[in-house]
Amino acid sequence: MASSSSSGRRPARSLALAPRPGAVASLIPGLPDDVAAVILCLLTFPDQSRLRATSRAWRFLLSAPTLLLLRRSLRLPSRHLLCLFPTDPSLASPILLDPTAPTAWWPLPPIPCSAQLYGLANFAALAVGSHLYVLGGSHFDARSYPLGHPSPSAAAYRLDLALSPHRWERLPGMHIPRGSFACAPAPGGGVIVAGGGSRHPTFPSYGSRTNSTEWYDAATSTWHIATPMLRERAGCAGFVAHGAGHVREDEFWVMGGYDGYTTVGGVVPNDVYCRDAVALGLWSGRWREIGNMWVEGERRRLGPMAAISADDGRVTEVFMLDGHSIFRYHFDSNRWSKEAPLRRNIPNTELCGFVSLNGELNVIKSVKVPAEISHSRRLLKKVLALEFQVYNPVSRKWRVFITHAPVSESFDFRSAALCTVEL
């Protein structure tokens, strides 16, 4: 026991006592630097962000590169954060949640664009390492909303969570403007996107569609055109699967979405949803058709999706929220099977968030819970909160917790966006 303990402290001491700019005192007075470094390493991300300003030594230790090395030396698992965009990111700040401490929320700055002139909906949010991306979306004139028709946006923004203070950086725009599209982190630290178009949040069936595909090279800060999809598609979901193709190459999968619309009675627009999937070989550069994932009458469209990744970042399991149940996708048969019913039924799955964190599936919805009252005769007051139903696919067990997010209105998960940040 003693030998393993001392061996576990040596890497921490070597990192904690590395040369730090202006370091003249211990990290925490009265404690060895290796012990203090471990304590700071185990704090929640919001607390670490706040404490960077304490001193130069703390700023150095709590920087992302130092923390990552220290966590690896201590064999601690990767830290997964939930990033939630309640609504238009130019109006409301995105917020981070560390699931190890459900009360630890941390606001990020809103995207620096003119919210008085233009609004943004149907954008994509994803994280690649410590970088948080906001891409594309449906841009509408806020002065005429909701009557004005939206136009697709090619804008791209990035925020580095390893830097403090946090600032959004405007990146070169995509070649093709798009909203409601598939996207995923690409191998090598980039981003790959496909499909999309413009889509009105109030009148969703109207708008353009595209089959274009492109990827962002973070090393050169440039967008590159890739092979387009076989047909136009929007409202789809995407992920990168490891060795799922016939030749076991990495592929960018695009599932579901819609490729057109019809009218009911010649008046009411109605989307035509896709039942199939397509995959782009990242080595060959060719698309292959996967075929229909369900038969006629089984379900109308693809529900909210969440993917679980291996240590190398490639997706190994894909799940879907459909009705009151979670379904698992089988790559070999191209079919969905029922994994587990929800712990608590939710009337409308469109009003739910669905995301993976730390290898678990999180179903998120807005709820109202009783507030604390100081007088028994007062009427019971309720406040807004977020309910998390968390499912572990390995143990097949559920747990539920409630957290109070720093927002004043209910989340509408038809327009809210969320993603997982892994540090």
Distance separating alpha carbons of residues 50 and 43, to the nearest angstrom: 11
Query: Tokens 């569609």 sit at which residue?
Result: 209
Residue 293: CB partners within 8 Å, gap ≥ 6? 255, 275, 276, 277, 302, 329, 334, 335, 336
Strands (E), 31-155: 80-85, 95-97, 105-107, 118-121, 124-128, 131-135, 138-141, 151-152
Q: How many helices and strands in the chain, by DSSP H and E?
A: 5, 29
Q: Are 298 and 288 in contact (CB under 8 A)?
A: no
Q: Rounded CA gap, 21 and 51, in Å?
A: 17
Contact 134, 171 (CB under 8 A): no
* Other beta carbons less than 10 A from residue 35's beta carbon: 17
**Distance separating alpha carbons of residues 9 and 95, to the nearest angstrom:** 34
Query: Which parts of the chain sit beneath pLDDT 50?
Result: 1-24
The Cα–Cα gap between 168 and 221 comes to: 15
Does the pTM surpass 0.85? The reply is no
Q: What is the pLDDT of residues 161-186, one digit of tens each?
A: 877 678 899 999 999 999 899 999 98
Question: How many CB atoms are closer than 10 A to CB 354?
Answer: 20
Element (H, E) at 218: none
Strand-pair partners of 269: 263
Residues 6+ apart with CB under 8 A from 110: 89, 90, 91, 92, 93, 94
Q: Are 317 and 372 in contact (CB under 8 A)?
A: no
Return the pLDDT at 71. 77
Cα 315 to Cα 307: distance, rounded to the nearest angstrom? 6
Residue 166: exposed, middle, or buried by beta-carbon count in 10 A (0-12, 13-18, 19+)?
A: middle
Neighbours of 114 (CB within 10 A): 9
How far apart CA 356 and CA 353 sit, in angstroms, is: 10
| Angle, CA of 325, 86 and 170, to the nearest 5° | 120
Domain ranges (residues) in the chain: 2-73, 114-302
Q: Is 42 helix (H, G, I), strand (E, B) or coil?
A: coil
Amino acid 16: pLDDT: 41
Architecture of the CATH domain 114-302: 6 Propeller (2.120)
- Judge contact between 315 and 239, C-beta under 8 A: yes
